[in-house]
Amino acid sequence: MRVRTTIILAGSLAVSACQSGTTSQAVSDRNSEFGCIAGTVGGAIVGGLIGSTIGAGTGQVLAVGGGIAGGGFVGNRLACK
């Protein structure tokens, strides 16, 4: 019984997620701006984490800084089309 309820609930959520509605231009612009910011910040975080695995001491600090800058740039380019 519990499995059937879970399957029905998951199916209902999946179908409702496919429903498309009309959105105004302001809402679309705001969502686009949020995605752009999220891509930039997410890329910077991932780049910083990758940079933190490289080197030691001053080299590691430089690698983290470079990773943050590079990741932010790449995330921005991918998210802000």
Instruction: Please say whether the beta carbons of 39 and 55 come within 8 A.
Output: no
Here the tokens at position 11 are 């199916």
Decide which of 67 and 1 is more confident.
Answer: 67
The answer to whether 80 and 34 are in contact (CB under 8 A) is no
Q: What is the pLDDT of residues 50-72, one digit of tens each?
A: 988 988 888 889 999 999 999 99
Per-residue pLDDT of 29-45, as tens digits, reads 666 778 888 889 999 99
Residue 65: count other Cβ atoms within 10 Å of its Cβ: 13
For residue 8, what pLDDT band results from cuts at 50, 70 and 90? low
